[in-house]
Structure 1
């Protein structure tokens, strides 16, 4: 028995996510060595020279390249963040990094939602079980939940772009929580990138684990917990009313 074919309209809806997957696979194979810290170190003099001669063009090309890295889930997002700090300093480097990462995340969110999100959200709503209850809980507290997950990336960045699209999170909430949630980490890694000149001079590698230092991780955890406090209090009040 043959399987029913998808209508042409559905194939068109899924075409963006298919393209993203194909480019991601190709990029993982072809571009990995070019989108790395080693590539930045080896080409730093040429990059600085080009930036000094064509600042606006360099800034525009960097932002577009960063958007492509995120939207196509290519390797090298961390190296790109360091490059933003290295070429443009903490500011405007952090602004370039955060804005580009947010735009890239929104693009992949839209692609997933167009291809699978609406049908998946409808299936979840029509189901009955733990997945539906979890989805409804997230939808009821979209902003604090997504914001806290962005602050403390317990899930990979790509996964955090896909799951909200599949469960029907509003795009305005997704964009806002992404922009605000990645801001602390983005500033920290941009700051690390801004100091790469001294790191290169000492022939060392940057400390990418700095975000896990207690004096940095502690405030981030506190902010994440604070963002979830209204959700926790609302849940506790609901339980009290049920008793």
Structure 2
């Protein structure tokens, strides 16, 4: 899957650059705009700026394309608070679509990738721990976003715990990275960083709890009592 990720990454960057260039030309700029120019361009596009951004992120986040490119861009183009809301909305939509694609196709498209021991470990927790497992696993950077979507579709986790856990678990990293993108302009609300740090600390506890809670296949087998 690595070569697919490279192709999708290059495609995403090309589309973002092309979008910025077309917007710049529409506003009469002959060279690549500066950060403040970018924000003025996006604001001038009205509702179409956020709509195109969310649609593009959803389109590329259903396959295994890293969210980081869009998360940083959201802070750069829209600022911390609007960028966070837009990124979380796109994250939720992409997660929902990927989840139902797997459920409706019976998991045939991704089942062969779910036999890896790490994938099995993730699925067991999704099967038995619900919203706690989804939230805590979303907070682990080593669990790719798209892979988590696919494994959730293969697992027995219910839809609403999956969606709520996805938004809760994705929020801390999203807030921090969007704020990083916004930092380029020098406008970073300290409250956002404080919220991100607090959520990350709480999420770390959730990760430990989810990892230590046994699932049925891992529970020790009790010895049978001797017959009277």
TM-score (norm 2): 0.65
Change (3 A) 1:197 1:135: closer
3-state SS of paired residue (1:168): coil
Which residue in 1 is equivalent to 2:205? 225
Q: CA deviation at 1:148?
A: 0.6
Change (3 A) 1:51 1:33: closer
Which residue in 2 is equivalent to 1:64? 55
Which residue in 2 is equivalent to 1:154? 142
Query: In structure 2, how many angstroms separate the alpha carbons of the residues matched to 1:132 and 1:152?
Result: 16
RMSD of the TM alignment (CA)? Answer: 3.9
The within-5 A match list for 1:1-243 is: 27-28=8-9, 30-35=11-16, 42-44=32-34, 47-74=38-65, 77-117=67-107, 135=123, 137-198=125-186, 216=197, 220-226=200-206, 229=209, 232=212
Q: CA deviation at 1:118?
A: 8.4
Query: In structure 1, how many angstroms separate the alpha carbons of the residues matched to 2:179 and 2:163?
Result: 23
Contact 1:102-1:178 within 8 A present in 2 as well: yes
Give the unaligned 5+ runs of structure 1.
Answer: 1-22, 125-130, 200-210
Structure 1 residues 166-175 or 49-58, which shifts more?
49-58
Q: For residues 30-85 of structure 1, what are the alpha-carbon distances to aligned partners after superposition, in whole Å with 9 as ceiling and x for unaligned?
A: 4444448xx89x5556633322322322122222222212124445x312111211
Contact 1:145-1:228 within 8 A present in 2 as well: no
Equivalent residues, number:
192
Contact 1:117-1:165 within 8 A present in 2 as well: yes
Structure 1 residues 83-92 or 43-52, which shifts more?
43-52
Query: In structure 2, how many angstroms separate the alpha carbons of the residues matched to 1:30 and 1:139?
Result: 35
Query: In structure 2, how many angstroms separate the alpha carbons of the residues matched to 1:71 and 1:119?
Result: 13
Contact 1:90-1:194 within 8 A present in 2 as well: yes
Query: In structure 2, how many angstroms separate the alpha carbons of the residues matched to 1:194 and 1:183?
Result: 16
TM-score (norm 1): 0.62
